[in-house]
Chain A
């Protein structure tokens, strides 16, 4: 160390004889070096964000609804997510109305997963017959099972609806979560629009 050369006779350096100027230089060097070390973390951390390829893989999907049988659900993939299309019978629509007092957010007013303006109605859809929703539970992202008819599932009780196998959240046939369940929100409605009477585009709701 340089301090030992300045002390004759091999005496141990005393703390009082610290060269203030050099000590400050050491502190400044450490601080500047520290900033450099912190900065080098940036490229590593940014490599964790979705890649350009992942971002590009979100193109809208076109679906023909005419082949769905009444009362049945089909699943289409959009951005890697399961999007459900349920063709509801009049009885199913009746059950949605009946479930109003039992669901946590009957009018879809919560904003965590905002329901698009055009689906913020009784049946959460553009056309009451077709429920279009992302089949991913708002609790921790499992995909619920169903639809189960009323009285066929212990967790749903007398209501028809969907049941999440992971933590037992239940949803009515409009994708609205029942009260006092782990999921805080209704199933999200993806942006979508009808390009003809029977063809819907999922992932695009621009009014062109």
Chain B
């Protein structure tokens, strides 16, 4: 009996000890957690396997993803070219470039790559240059080792240790001037295995430019150091020029695709409030680094920094990339376009414009600028010929009326009535003057079609009203009336 008890208690105690042991083992196993992380390879220790010539691409395209390739001895051959280019219509600028483009060629590598960097300064260039890549761990980011005269080549090696999207730029004195003239680009270091695949990838880089002349002043514009120091930019553009990514140069994607943009900001001065009109960024690799934010409307990209944004495209139309410091977008050129083709999705976006009040930009709400010359002009003293009237009237039309009634007075069907060959207009001049001065609402019939919209009263002087009406009456098949200031004044008094 006692033996049985003893055996039982022994068995129990054994079990107990066993359980105790198990529990303590588990506890210690948990403590092993941090140790396991340390066992991951230090990027400096990644072994390279084979040599490879880097495929450099011109913006807006990027080289193929690294995928699963191992770290390689990567040879990069980058040429510096000083050459003239077009900033916008009629405006030329002397760009200093990496690879002949602004931004410079896109370099794509993966963590652990050992890069053999050849920097070549074309013999026709006037100035020495160098390169500072933010992906480099080393003095000057490579600048100390790559300072070269025209007609020469410098070679240095560096191992990329951290994944991310990095800016590179020239760092020769005066550094601001070299960067301001376009010497910047991006180098992508993908993590092992690369980023998850997407359907389309593009390269976009913002920069600010400083010219002696104002925005749009024609000719070869030299760089203006004073403006650059004051940070008073004339042009803020994507990819080196106004319209570099609009019109025929717009990017093209399809509904249902995932798009990734590698976005940089070369500066030299301005940070970017990067936003896509019509889209939300599903993912933003903030500052081109590891942290990923989701569902972002506008992301901050510092000068000398970058970001990777990804979004899934739901509906067709135009996605417009802007710097949301909005005057830069609409007045200095910080605007790029992505055309989306494909089937509409009415639930997500119906795409129908309801009729109703539409206040276009450039309408009566806008104040007409009042320079001293214009105030002089507005004085009724001098005599104007009919031809002069029509000319001045055209300017008024293009600033004020064109947004709704369009360039040839054709209007927009069902929305804004035409002024071209308009029976409504030609029937009653006074009524036309009243429409300009006091506005017009309610249903009207023009050339057989009904319109029921609102025309706002226009804030114009008597002279401007007279001139614009004379212009309208003397174009597009209208009856050729000359509207005088006296006629306008008399209607105003009523």
A joins B in a complex: no
Interface residues of B, Cβ cutoff 8 Å to A: none
